[in-house]
Amino acid sequence: MGEGKQETQSTASLIPGVISSYGNGWRELWKHFLELFLIGIIGFFIALPAAMGSGSEGAAVAFLGILGAAYSILVSSPVDYGVSFSYLKAARGDKIEIKNMFEAFKNYWNAVLANLLVAVIVIIGLILFIVPGVIFACKLAFTPYLVVDRKMDVIEAVKESWRMTGGHSWKVFLIGLLAIPIIIAGLLCLGVGVILSGMWIAMAFASLYHAVSTTMETSN
C-alpha cells in the first residue's frame, strides 16, 4: 500500500521536461508493456482497411481511395485517439484495459472533428513555409488527450491545447526531434526495435501532457 502511494505521488510530481518525460515513459512502459503491445496490435489491424485501394487500377482506385479515407477518418482516427488515451493512463500509472483504446467513441464526433481540424490547421501551416505547420503541430499536440480524457468538444480542446502548451511547445518539439534517433536505433535492431521505439515515444508525449496538466492543477 505504501509503495503504491509513493509511486503515484512520484508520477504526479513529474516535472514537465524532455528528459523527465522520456524517463517516466520508459519506466511506466515496462509496467504496462503487454497491455500496450496488445493494444498496438489490435490498432494495427483496425487501421489496415484504410490502406484499401493500393494495387487497384482505374476507377477502382478513386472509389476504394474514398472508402479508405472515410474509414480512416471515421474509424481509425478515433481509435488512434483512444490509443493515445491508453498511453496517458500508463503514464499516470493507472490500470490499463484493452477497452481503453475505444474510449474516444464516448466522445465520437468531437474526436473525429478534432482530428480533422488539427490536420487542416497543420497542413495550412506547412503550406506557409513549413515552420508555422511545425509550430501548430506542437501547440495542438495535447488535443487527443483533452478530447478523450476530459471529454472536451473540438473547439474547446484545440483552445485548451494551445493554452497548455504555452511555454512547453518547444518541449513537444524536442521530444519529437529526439524521436528521430530513437526510431533509427530501433531500425538498426533488426527492425523489431521500431515497435519498442514507437511505444516509448508515445509514452514520452503522454508523460509530458500528464506532467503539464498536473503542474497546472497544482498551481491553481
CB 24 within 8 A of CB 8: no
Model confidence at 162: pLDDT above 90: yes
Which pLDDT belongs to residue 6?
40
Model confidence at 143: pLDDT above 70: yes
Which pLDDT belongs to residue 15?
87
Nearest of 147, 149, 148, 144 to residue 205 by alpha carbon: 144
pLDDT band, residue 219 (cuts 50/70/90): confident
Model confidence at 2: pLDDT above 90: no
Contacts of residue 57, defined as CB under 8 A and 6 or more positions apart, other chains included, come to none
Compare 108 and 49 and report the one with higher pLDDT.
Answer: 108
Which pLDDT belongs to residue 12?
45
Model confidence at 5: pLDDT above 50: no
Compare 165 and 216 and report the one with higher pLDDT.
Answer: 165
Model confidence at 165: pLDDT above 60: yes
Q: What's the mean pLDDT when you consider all of the chain?
A: 89
pLDDT band, residue 9 (cuts 50/70/90): very low
Model confidence at 133: pLDDT above 70: yes
Q: Into how many domains does the chain fold?
A: 1
Model confidence at 13: pLDDT above 60: no
Q: What is the mean pLDDT of residues 56-80?
A: 81
Which pLDDT belongs to residue 66?
83
Model confidence at 81: pLDDT above 70: yes
59 three-state secondary structure: helix
The percent of residues in the chain predicted with pLDDT above 70, rounded, is: 89
130 three-state secondary structure: coil
Compare 150 and 11 and report the one with higher pLDDT.
Answer: 150
Q: 82-113 burial, b for 16+ CB within 10 Å, e for fewer?
A: bbbbbbbbbbbbeebeeebbbbbeebeebbbb
Q: What is the pTM of this model?
A: 0.88
The distance of Cα 203 from the centroid of its chain, to the nearest Å, equals: 8
Residue 136 sits in which domain range? Answer: 2-219
Q: What is the mean pLDDT of residues 93-97?
A: 95
pLDDT band, residue 220 (cuts 50/70/90): low
